[in-house]
Chain A
């Protein structure tokens, strides 16, 4: 598994070289190393322009696709990686096979990761088409919100509320969520078949409490639900017994 090795003699950092997708971003700052073979001065000189450190004991092609469990087993604070260090010539070359372009190794070392590591196997592989947030105004049949959003923003998923471990609660109101194709399919169907129906055009005064209950239920409920018939009468009977007062809000995430 190849890593970029860069920084200064006092502060060295590593970052996983991405040679295929899907993949994971693995970064560690202020790593230390014990030299096994080679010259320290050569490494120090090479740090400014970057070096390649290949973890010999980690065959990436056999470990892909990465999961958080697998990543955590070898990339965590305090972890040690035995690496062979090469000059960064491979990334300058025009060849497609990164592995074939390594030059002669300049050193072998054991890198120890510091307490500060960053692992992301979620955002880096995010499918933006699935993750596109959809606003209520785009509910019209025949309107394809994905296209509009796509053309205006390709911001990193972080700005849409995602984190390495998934979506945040804090941003969930404005961001999309990772959903299965089935959820998207159901939502698309519902969007074609239903509109917001509010038959109760002249609500009575006692309906205000019901509306409050509805909105509370809606806001507290999980956004993954597609259709919610949340109205209930005070006696607990379902609202659909009275067709004239059915309120069928449907909502997008």
Chain B
């Protein structure tokens, strides 16, 4: 009786986990983060995450930031050159969509020990154009 109950219990318990596994292996639109490198033409290194199909990509984009975005980013970088700067997408999209369109809007922020600073005045919404 105990084993039957246990089987039923574990049987039910396994269902949501299987569903989760299937869902996480399906690539969906998602918010993405890139490590920002360089100061003229910039490179964006996609931050991968193996656990989700949507984020399971290693990709390095090369392009340029819009003038306002580049200025704010360079100002921030000049003030704090050792920090990591991130470019985060503002809309949930597939990576292939971004690459195909060759441009996207992003929020540039500085990564700090307690999170990425998106409330800072240094945050800019930049338009990234792939070259």
For B41, the chain A residues whose CB sits under 8 A away are: 8
The 6 closest A-B pairs by CB, nearest first: A144-B16, A29-B37, A154-B54, A150-B23, A155-B31, A21-B50
Number of chain B interface residues as a range: 35 or more
Nearest A residue to B52 by beta-carbon distance? A154
User: How many angstroms from the CA of A161 to the CA of B88 in the assembled complex?
Assistant: 14
Nearest A residue to B53 by beta-carbon distance? A154
Nearest A residue to B119 by beta-carbon distance? A170
Nearest B residue to A168 by beta-carbon distance? B115
Contact between B115 and A13 (Cβ–Cβ < 8 Å)? no
For A11, the chain B residues whose CB sits under 8 A away are: 37-40
Instruction: Say whether A6 faces chain B, with CB atoms less than 8 Å apart.
Output: yes
For B83, the chain A residues whose CB sits under 8 A away are: 116
For B27, the chain A residues whose CB sits under 8 A away are: 154
Among B1-43, those with CB < 8 Å from A are 13, 15-17, 19-21, 23-24, 27-28, 30-33, 35, 37-41, 43
Contact between B114 and A128 (Cβ–Cβ < 8 Å)? no
- In the assembled complex, the CB of A139 is this many whole angstroms from the nearest CB of chain B, namely 15
Instruction: Say whether A120 faces chain B, with CB atoms less than 8 Å apart.
Output: yes
Contact between B50 and A22 (Cβ–Cβ < 8 Å)? yes
Instruction: Say whether B48 faces chain A, with CB atoms less than 8 Å apart.
Output: yes
Among A4-42, those with CB < 8 Å from B are 4, 6-8, 10-11, 13, 15, 17-18, 21-23, 25, 27, 29-30
Kindly name the residue among B13, B38, B40, B49 whose own CB sees the greatest number of chain A CB atoms within 10 A. B49
B binding-site residues for A, Cβ under 8 Å: 13, 15-17, 19-21, 23-24, 27-28, 30-33, 35, 37-41, 43, 45, 47-55, 58, 60, 62, 81-84, 86, 88, 92, 111, 113-116
User: How many angstroms from the CA of A21 to the CA of B30 in the assembled complex?
Assistant: 21
Binary CB contact string for chain A from 63 to 102 against chain B (1 if under 8 A, 0 otherwise): 0000000000000010000000000000000000000000
User: How many angstroms from the CA of A211 to the CA of B38 in the assembled complex?
Assistant: 53
Kindly name the residue among B27, B52, B53 whose own CB sees the greatest number of chain A CB atoms within 10 A. B52
Contact between A159 and B17 (Cβ–Cβ < 8 Å)? no
User: How many angstroms from the CA of A169 to the CA of B32 in the assembled complex?
Assistant: 21
- In the assembled complex, the CB of B36 is this many whole angstroms from the nearest CB of chain A, namely 8
